Structure 1
Amino acid sequence: MASNLACIGLAVWRRSDFREMVAAARAEAETIAKDGEVGVHLWTDASGARLIITTEGDLVRVVVPTFYAAPGAIMSEPQAVDGGLVLAELVNEHDEVITEIACQLEELSLLGAAEPPVEGPVSVVVLGTSARVTGRADAGTPAPVFEPTGAYAASTDATAHLTGVVLAVEERAVERTGQGFTAARVQTDGFQVTLCVPAGEPHLTAGDVVDVDGYVVASMPSLR
């Protein structure tokens, strides 16, 4: 099973290496929110790999990996919950609910100041900690599925299980680490996600049907 960091080419094996990587990213990051001693900073690599770094004074409190992706869904009424996560609905263009979702949100620190109701285009990134190809779309497949496995668990988590069809694939690499990863656009149940996996784990091509368990991070640009 891949780590969240490995899914975007930032795998590290020592705590000291992780601290050095975060410190370097923090120095290059954009500050997107500041409230007293608490700051939220966004680092984006040329590959699209991202780190959301929350600090308190000089201390790093939380680091969330994600990826810069185009919107592929509409999020409605996101609500912050314990653990720094968000619960929300994804809706279609007719405002009909497609599914509920538990996720990390890049703009969580800006959510409280947003004027309700909050709704808008959102990118949904899935870090595929477990992913496999189960067939080809041209061979006929069951309807795609998106299940927010962490939304109703005893301890809410930003996890989901999904099946879908790969629409496009890009191979990326992070210069700092030399690690490659795959960013694939996937059509799932009523919307599109960007799936990130370590290069070749698995090898993906357009038209593949995938079965994925992963960590979910969203971005709603309209909150900025």
Structure 2
Amino acid sequence: MTSNLDCLGLGVADGDALSALIQRMWPAMEEQAMTGGTTTLRWTDPSGARLTVGVTAEGEPADLVPSYAGVPGVRLSGLTLADDQGTVSADVVDEDGELCTRLAGDLEQWRTLVGAAESAAGLACVTALGLDVTVHADEAAFAASDASVMGDPAAPRPDDLDPDSPWPVRQAAESFFPYGLFGDTPHAHAGVAGRVLTADTRVVELTGQAFHAVRLSLASLGMELDLCLAAADHPAPPVPGNIVHGTVYLVVSVDGLWSPPEPEPRRRWFGRR
């Protein structure tokens, strides 16, 4: 399965290569917040590929959140921490505040929620990193494919099913399954089917690697996502009208949650001995 970093043109072979890559990013990183002694920095490539990094007071890396500098397209309410690693849960609501669905994902600004007495809300950029997805020509092609089948495509029709009911049961061309909310341990994986609005290929200046930036519509659920696909897995970008379906990793960003950074001299880190 493709890695989160591969989806953004930031693929590396191992931890040492990641350390070397981040050291190259360091001069262009911008401070976003200081919370609990940890400074949050963010690097953004002209392609839109982004990495948010937490750095401890000792200058050591605390965590990394890969994402994309997209356009807000999801209205969130009840945004709360689901664990102590940056996973959040939230309601997706429409302009009237009515619930459309729920999601779980990594939040770039998660440290600003630590110890918060109330949940947060706001218009969010949601990046879907395409870990295992397929592209279908249009809604009809998706509906005719095994990818749209809910469950085992080879399963026999149940004897007690209404004979007038369609079989097999298929999911809609715009649908969303927040896998991260289904078990005891929250996580950022989700199942998505959406309609391509726009798509183009980007090349990361720092690595020379390509990825596709896709604007995906789930209008029936009040959502527009930025889907990032590794060009190595998808040689050609999707085109408008295609249906993309599969497993993604969700990253959420609500820039209004950043707190003003406290001035602090930068330290060299990653790979320090």
> Considering the TM-score relative to the shorter chain, is it more than 0.5?
yes
Deviation at 1:169, TM superposition (A): 0.4
Find the counterpart in structure 1 of residue 86 from structure 2. Answer: 84
Equivalent pair of 1:114/1:223 in contact (CA under 8 Å): no
> Structure 1 residues 10-19 or 115-124, which shifts more?
115-124
Please tell me the residue identity of whatever aligns with 2:246: V
Asked if 1:219 corresponds to 2:221, the answer is no
CA deviations 1:174-206 (Å, max 9, x no partner) are: 011110000000012331111001126333111
The residue that corresponds to 1:194 in the other structure is: 226
Name 1:166's counterpart in structure 2: 196
Q: Distance in 1 between matches of 2:24 and 2:82?
A: 30
Structure 1 position 152 matched with structure 2 position 182: yes
**Compared CA separation, residues 149 and 216, structure 1 to 2 (3 A):** same
Per the alignment, residue 52 of structure 2 pairs with 52
CA distance in 2, matches of 1:121, 1:70: 10
Structure 1 residues 1-224: aligned runs within 5 Å: 1-35=1-35, 37-56=37-56, 57-82=58-83, 83-112=85-114, 116=118, 118-137=120-139, 141=143, 142-188=172-218, 189-199=221-231, 201-202=233-234, 203=236, 204-224=238-258
Q: Which ranges in structure 1 are unaligned for 5 or more consecutive residues?
A: none
Please state how far the C-alpha of 1:114 moved relative to its aligned partner.
7.1
Q: Given residue 17 of structure 1, which amino acid in structure 2 is its aligned partner?
A: A
Between 65-74 and 130-139, report the one with greater CA deviation: 130-139
Deviations 1:157-184 (A, max 9, x none): 1111100110000210101111000000
SS in structure 2 at match of 1:21: helix
* 1:129–1:28 CA distance, 2 compared to 1 (3 A): same
How far apart are residue 222 of structure 1 and its match? 2.1
| Aligned-partner residue type, residue 133 of structure 1 | V
Offset of 1:153 from its aligned partner? Answer: 1.8
1:118/1:85 CA distance change after superposition, 3 Å = same
| Distance in 1, Cα, partners of 2:94 & 2:232 | 33
Question: Are 1:26 and 1:41, in contact at CA under 8 Å, matched by a contact in 2?
Answer: no
Bigger share in strand: 1
CA distance in 2 between counterparts of 1:35 and 1:144 reads 38
* Contact map agreement 2:86 2:111 (CA 8 A) in 1: no
Aligned-residue Cα RMSD (Å) equals 2.0
The percentage of aligned residue pairs carrying the same residue is: 32
For 2:70, give the aligned amino acid.
Answer: A
TM-score by length of 2: 0.76
Aligned to 2:161: none
- What is the count of residue pairs matched by the alignment? 224
Larger Cα Rg: Structure 1 or Structure 2?
2
Which letter does structure 1 place at the counterpart of 2:230?
Answer: P
Residues 166 and 124 of structure 1, relative CA distance in 2, 3 Å threshold: same
Q: TM-score scaled to structure 1, two decimals?
A: 0.92
Residues 138 and 207, structure 1, Cα contact 8 Å, conserved in 2: no
Q: Secondary structure at the match of 2:179?
A: coil
Moved more, 63-72 or 19-28: 19-28
Task: State the one-letter code of the partner of 1:131.
Answer: V
Retained in 2: the 8 A contact 1:182–1:200?
no
Q: Secondary structure at the match of 1:150?
A: helix
In structure 1, how many angstroms separate the alpha carbons of the residues matched to 2:131 and 2:119? 33
For 1:167 and 1:3, how far apart are their aligned partners in 2?
A: 24
Residues 117, 176 of structure 1: alpha-carbon distance in 2 compared, 3 angstrom cutoff: closer
Distance 2:96 2:232 in 1: 38
Counterparts in 2 of 1:148 and 1:209: CA distance versus 1, 3 Å: same
**2:256 maps to amino acid:** S
Q: What is the one-letter code of the residue matched to 2:7?
A: C
